[in-house]
Amino acid sequence: MAERDSAPRVAERDSAPGAAELRAYRALLGAQARSQAAYRTSFVVDLVGNVGATVFDVVTVLVIFGVTRELGGFTLRETLVVVGLSACGFATADLLVGNIERLPRYVRTGLFDAVLVRPLGALPQLLLMDLPLRKLSRAVFGLAVLLFALVSAGIDWTPGRVALAVVAPLAAVVFFASVFVLTATVSFYWVDSGELANSVTYGGRDFTSYPVTVYGGWFRALFAYGMGFAFVSYHPALALLGRADPLGLPPWAGWAAPGVAVVAAALAALAWRVGVRHYRSTGS
């Protein structure tokens, strides 16, 4: 890697990455890919094991529909669109930035110091240092569930809905990625936060796997609208299916997904910058 700066500098950068930086990132990614593929059997086991987690999420939905005809006023075919959007969005975000959940360990062991003194952005480095290619299988499966759901739901396709079917999963990826980064920044302040982040990341995945009509009270208000999870899968699914929201939001709420995702990304970026600035090394 080219040593462009000898002096340690604060990691966050305002300028767009230059060609040299992109080369460095590509080198990091290439090294990751090679090292992970080196142990081929382990890699295959990991690929299979990782798809299993998402498979069981879908199986759970199927089993629940084995004992009931509808869930929160939605049929299996309709719910599968919700599941597909959630699974596709979460699995892809988990592949791209899910490893940020290791940040507490990096902070505790002091590895984060090493990341900060390098002349590259801290966040991209952390993501590329350990990009879990084994999670590829999960993302592909999530996409397959979404495609199957979209085909089998009997959607009355219009140009607008085709566009939404493309934009909504991308917005879901951005939203979940933001949630991963946001929750990880907690460890800058509370190193022993342990599985706390899981309650929002994996909790959000479970929440978005079902129509929000299933939930009730302040819990629904908090997760669905306070944190915005309703716009990840539920409202886009309503817009795709052409159903009115039983809870009374207008039909355009499905189109709010990209906007909500952008807001989430902005919040995550802000929280990350504030968090990095707050970071105190644990010492050597």
Partner 1 sequence: MGSVTATVAPPTGAHVTPWFRTFGAIAAAGFRRHATYRQAAVAGLFTNTVFGFLRCYIFLAATGAAGTVAGYDRAQLATFVWAGQGLLAVIAIWGWTDLADRIRTGEVAADLLRPVHPVTSYLATDLGRAGFAALARLVPPLVIGPFFFAVYVPRHWATVPLFLLSVLLAVVVCFGCRYLVNATAYWLQDVRGPMILWTLGSGVLAGLYFPLGFLPGPLETVLRYATPFPSILQVPLDVLVEREPMSTGLALVGVQAAWVVALLALCRLVQRRAERRLVVQGG
Q: Which residues bind partner 1 (CB under 8 A)?
A: 42, 45-46, 48-50, 52-53, 56, 59-60, 63-64, 66-72, 190, 192-196, 198-200, 203, 206-207, 210, 214-217, 219-220
Provide the minimum distance between the beta carbon of 70 and partner 1 in the complex, in angstroms, as a whole number.
8
Shorter beta-carbon distance to partner 1: residue 53 or 262: 53
Provide the minimum distance between the beta carbon of 45 and partner 1 in the complex, in angstroms, as a whole number.
4
Provide the minimum distance between the beta carbon of 74 and partner 1 in the complex, in angstroms, as a whole number.
10
Spatial distance between the Cα atoms of 167 and 266, rounded to a whole number of angstroms:
18
Provide the minimum distance between the beta carbon of 216 and partner 1 in the complex, in angstroms, as a whole number.
6
Tell me the two tokens of residue 221.
């208000």
Residue with tokens 């009931």: 68
Shorter beta-carbon distance to partner 1: residue 107 or 120: 107
Shorter beta-carbon distance to partner 1: residue 194 or 250: 194
Structural contact between residues 74 and 213, judged by C-beta atoms closer than 8 angstroms: yes
Give the largest CA-CA distance in the chain: 65
Structural contact between residues 164 and 236, judged by C-beta atoms closer than 8 angstroms: yes
Its sign, for the CA torsion 270, 229, 201, 84, is negative
Spatial distance between the Cα atoms of 163 and 232, rounded to a whole number of angstroms:
15
Shorter beta-carbon distance to partner 1: residue 125 or 208: 208
Shorter beta-carbon distance to partner 1: residue 47 or 111: 47
For the purposes of burial, counting CB atoms within 10 Å of the CB of 128, is it exposed (0-12), middle (13-18) or buried (19 or more)? buried
Provide the minimum distance between the beta carbon of 61 and partner 1 in the complex, in angstroms, as a whole number.
9
